[in-house]
């Protein structure tokens, strides 16, 4: 899976034009699922622009409640009604800027499952945590707490995105070996919790300054199953090159 997180970018017309161009650039491509996550205000229009293409649509976040007095929030019901099949949960920017925690991430994953949305569950360590040799303990807690109380049968389509926070928007990229080491660890943690067969079925994406120049090497790693792309997903030709690695 190659997923494009558009974050807080693009006006309506730009979003529609971008997804149409991406769809044209990857037409007929087999063997890879493509997903885009526009801003909430553009979801319905982008879904319409996608037409019968095989590109999946995701929300960038969601509230854990179905409705209520939560001004400015978006529920799973709303995301589904806009045509989404997936939702990004626990992105590092949500954790960093909006005080999301492992507990609120867990609540959102539970809610996503209730709405039959596929969670794209983000985990990752900061530069300080990596330098303190705390990468694996941080990731263990994020995965354990994020999936707390959720049965494997409810996580059949789960996608995990490993995003080293120090590599997001910085131009820095984890080496392919670093990505593989972490992805292998994450798969091992899933195996301990849910069994080896389940762990092998989960797609683990890498996110962090992914570009056409590094996607092939990253994807050559045994446990790297795709990418969550940020800035490079805002350029149709660049994103298409990544998809067609």
Three-state SS for 34? strand
pLDDT surpasses 80 at 170 = no
Q: Active-site residue 42, yes or no?
A: no
> How many domains does the chain contain in total?
1
> Using an 8 Å Cβ cutoff, are 228 and 161 in contact?
yes
Supply the range of the domain harboring residue 59. Answer: 2-243
Catalytic member of 42, 86, 91, 183: 91
In terms of residues, how long is the chain? 245
Question: Is this prediction's pTM over 0.85?
Answer: yes
Report which DSSP code applies to 83: T
Q: Active-site residue 17, yes or no?
A: no
- What CATH number does the domain containing 56 carry? 3.20.20.70
**Cα separation, 13 vs 16, whole angstroms:** 5
pLDDT surpasses 90 at 192 = yes
Catalytic member of 63, 100, 163, 183: 163
Q: Average pLDDT for residues 221-245, to the nearest whole number? A: 96
Helix or strand (DSSP H, E) at 197 = helix 196-201
Longest dimension (CA), the chain: 48
**Cα separation, 145 vs 189, whole angstroms:** 12
> Using an 8 Å Cβ cutoff, are 24 and 46 in contact?
no
pLDDT tens sequence across 202-214: 999 999 889 999 9
pLDDT tens sequence across 33-58: 999 999 999 999 999 999 999 999 99
Q: Average pLDDT for residues 164-171, to the nearest whole number? A: 79
Token readout for 71 is: 């001004």
Token readout for 40 is: 């909430």
Least confident of 24-28, 73-77, 135-139, 183-187: 24-28
State the distance between the two ends of the chain, measured CA to CA, in whole angstroms: 12
């Amino acid at each position: 899976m190659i997923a494009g997180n558009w974050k807080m970018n693009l006006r309506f017309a730009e979003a529609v034009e971008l997804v149409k161009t991406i769809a044209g650039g990857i037409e007929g491509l087999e063997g890879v699922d493509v997903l885009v996550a526009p801003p909430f205000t553009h979801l319905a229009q982008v879904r319409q622009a996608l037409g019968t293409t095989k590109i999946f649509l995701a929300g960038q976040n969601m509230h854990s409640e179905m409705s209520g007095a939560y001004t400015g929030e978006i529920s799973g019901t709303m995301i589904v009604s806009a045509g989404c099949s997936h939702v990004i949960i626990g992105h590092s920017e949500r954790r960093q800027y909006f005080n999301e925690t492992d507990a609120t991430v867990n609540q959102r994953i539970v809610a996503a499952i209730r709405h039959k949305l596929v969670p794209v569950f983000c985990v990752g360590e900061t530069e300080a945590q990596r330098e303190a040799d705390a990468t694996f303990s941080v990731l263990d807690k994020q995965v354990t707490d994020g999936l707390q109380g959720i049965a494997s049968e409810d996580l059949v389509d789960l996608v995990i995105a490993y995003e080293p926070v120090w590599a997001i928007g910085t131009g820095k990229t984890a080496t392919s070996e670093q990505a593989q080491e972490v992805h292998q660890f994450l798969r091992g943690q899933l195996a301990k919790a849910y069994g080896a067969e389940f762990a092998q079925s989960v797609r683990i994406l890498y996110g962090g300054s992914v570009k056409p120049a590094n996607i092939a090497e990253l994807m050559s790693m045994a446990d790297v199953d795709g990418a969550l792309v940020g800035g490079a997903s805002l350029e149709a030709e660049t994103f298409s090159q990544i998809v067609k690695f």
